[in-house]
């Protein structure tokens, strides 16, 4: 991949100041992102060599079915198209909003087991950890000089954390979390990041940092910027799977169905899933979200229209719905779970995958840091 390969740059997508947009401005920007993402998705099919993707997870717990349908399957698709893919285990980011790391090694190996079981191939994708890439984290220093305190506090993730602290002081790492994410993307000069719509502000601040670095340093030593303008790949077709309690699926809520669960554990979790009092099953996301969620999950597993499944169940009630979902999900994950168990039983192999990925990522990070130091005239 060329250092700055990308489709024609759209200078209207978060390249300016990090001001609070009006609702109308925010909707207009979102519409442009959606349009551009669709263009890029088509380009992946014909010119995958133009892109480098950065994606990943925080190892705060085991992966669940929300990850599987929301990101894992799409990452495998992108990899199999021939796109240069970097998969980050963001272990340093675990402590942005936590007092400790917990059983982090166990979680890292668990996540890598799921990556491999899903089809992420370490010979075609680079799987690596934050904490093992010094040059990536060193980029935080120049990047932090390019944004202001007020701009960071306007970031939606930071704002939400500040509102949820209950008076507790927010850590400096949490405040600078958006810059750390920018470093994740820019250290490998990725120009494409699969995200949900709520993550677009992180892409926008990454673009701002790339542009400001170029204006301050980049053109002094090169005809092209040091960093590309990252784009978002929005998975607009993926329905969000709710947790078993009907709220957003979250590891911290205990409402998830983990990929590593047994078939019996999955059945037990789904048996407790909330529905409603109407025995007749219909697909009505607006008025019956919990029922619609289970139908959506069945549809994803069976590759069928949820409305058709609802019509077949009819007066069969929640019991029949849960039975269908349980059988469909367990069958969909059967091969994944078998492969996952094999990988999880071989920690030496998992360690080698991470070590090899870290070696590749370090080489990329060191080269980028060298470019940065040269642009900043800090080569002595």
Which tens digits make up the pLDDT trace of 126-140? 999 999 999 999 999
Q: Which residues contact 138 (CB under 8 A, 6 or more apart)?
A: 369
The pLDDT, as a whole number, for residue 355 is: 98
378: which 2 tokens?
A: 């800090």
The pLDDT, as a whole number, for residue 24 is: 86
Q: Which residues pair with 233 in a beta bridge?
A: 194
Residue 233, Cβ neighbours under 10 Å: how many?
Answer: 22
The fold of 23-238+361-375 is: Rossmann fold (3.40.50)
The pLDDT, as a whole number, for residue 17 is: 60
Element (H, E) at 192: strand 192-195
**pTM, 2 dp:** 0.92
- Sorting pLDDT into bands at 50, 70 and 90, what band is 147? very high
Q: Which residues contact 362 (CB under 8 A, 6 or more apart)?
A: 132, 133, 134, 135
Residue corresponding to tokens 């607009």: 236
pLDDT of residue 209 exceeding 60 = yes
Average pLDDT, stretch 181-206? 95
Contact status, residue 49 vs residue 82, Cβ threshold 8 Å? yes
CATH code of the domain made up of 251-344: 1.10.240.10
Sheet holding 84-89, edge to edge: 125-129, 84-89, 52-57, 192-195, 231-234
The pLDDT, as a whole number, for residue 3 is: 42
**Residue among 217, 146, 138 at smallest CA distance from 184:** 138
More confident residue, 364 or 222: 364
| Residue 56 three-state SS | strand
Give me the residue spans of the domains in the chain: 23-238+361-375, 251-344
pLDDT digit string, tens, across residues 263-305: 999 999 999 999 999 999 999 999 999 999 999 999 999 999 9
Distance CA 95, CA 97 (A): 5
pLDDT of residue 237 exceeding 90 = no
- Sorting pLDDT into bands at 50, 70 and 90, what band is 1? very low
Distance CA 227, CA 242 (A): 37
Contact status, residue 128 vs residue 358, Cβ threshold 8 Å? yes
Contact status, residue 181 vs residue 157, Cβ threshold 8 Å? no
Please give the DSSP secondary-structure letter assigned to residue 258: B
Average pLDDT, stretch 25-37? 91
The pLDDT, as a whole number, for residue 6 is: 47
- Sorting pLDDT into bands at 50, 70 and 90, what band is 363? very high
Residues making up the chain, counted from first to last: 380
The pLDDT, as a whole number, for residue 116 is: 98
The pLDDT, as a whole number, for residue 167 is: 65
Q: Which residues contact 273 (CB under 8 A, 6 or more apart)?
A: 244, 245, 246, 290, 294, 322, 325
The pLDDT, as a whole number, for residue 9 is: 53
The pLDDT, as a whole number, for residue 7 is: 53
* Average pLDDT score over the chain: 91
Please give the DSSP secondary-structure letter assigned to residue 64: B
Side-chain-side CA neighbours of 165 within 13 Å: the count stands at: 16
- Sorting pLDDT into bands at 50, 70 and 90, what band is 2? very low
pLDDT of residue 57 exceeding 80 = yes
């Amino acid at each position: 991949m060329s250092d700055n390969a990308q489709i024609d740059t759209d200078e209207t997508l978060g390249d300016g100041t990090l001001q609070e947009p009006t609702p109308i401005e925010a909707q207009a920007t979102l519409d442009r992102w959606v349009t551009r993402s669709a263009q890029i998705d088509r380009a992946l099919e014909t010119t995958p060599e133009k892109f480098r993707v950065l994606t990943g997870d925080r190892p705060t717990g085991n992966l669940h079915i929300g990850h599987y349908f929301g990101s894992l399957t799409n990452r495998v698709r992108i990899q199999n198209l021939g796109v240069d893919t970097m998969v980050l285990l963001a272990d340093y980011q675990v402590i942005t909003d936590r007092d400790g790391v917990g059983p982090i090694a166990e979680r890292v190996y668990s996540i890598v087991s799921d990556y491999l079981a899903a089809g992420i191939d370490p010979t075609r994708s680079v799987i690596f950890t934050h904490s093992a890439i010094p040059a990536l984290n060193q980029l935080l220093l120049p990047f932090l000089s390019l944004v202001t305190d007020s701009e960071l506090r306007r970031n939606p993730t930071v704002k939400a954390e500040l509102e949820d602290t209950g008076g507790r002081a927010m850590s400096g790492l949490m405040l600078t979390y958006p810059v750390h994410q920018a470093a994740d993307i820019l250290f490998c000069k990725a120009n494409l990041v699969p995200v949900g719509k709520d993550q677009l502000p992180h892409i926008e601040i990454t673009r701002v940092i790339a542009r400001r670095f170029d204006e301050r340093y980049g053109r002094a030593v090169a005809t092209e910027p040091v960093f590309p303008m990252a784009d978002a790949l929005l998975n607009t077709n993926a329905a969000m799977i709710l947790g078993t309690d009907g709220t957003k699926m979250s590891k911290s809520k205990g409402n998830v169905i983990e990929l590593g669960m047994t078939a019996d554990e999955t059945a037990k979790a789904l048996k407790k899933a909330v529905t409603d009092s109407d025995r007749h099953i219909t697909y009505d996301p607006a008025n019956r979200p919990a029922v619609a969620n289970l139908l959506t999950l069945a549809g994803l597993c069976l590759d069928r229209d949820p409305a058709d499944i609802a019509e077949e169940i009819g007066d069969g009630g929640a019991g029949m719905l849960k039975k269908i979902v349980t059988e469909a999900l367990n069958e969909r994950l059967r091969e994944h779970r078998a492969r996952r168990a094999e990988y999880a039983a071989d920690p030496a192999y998992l360690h080698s995958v991470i070590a090899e990925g870290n070696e590749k990522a370090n080489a990329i990070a060191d080269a980028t840091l060298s470019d940065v130091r040269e642009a900043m005239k800090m080569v002595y």
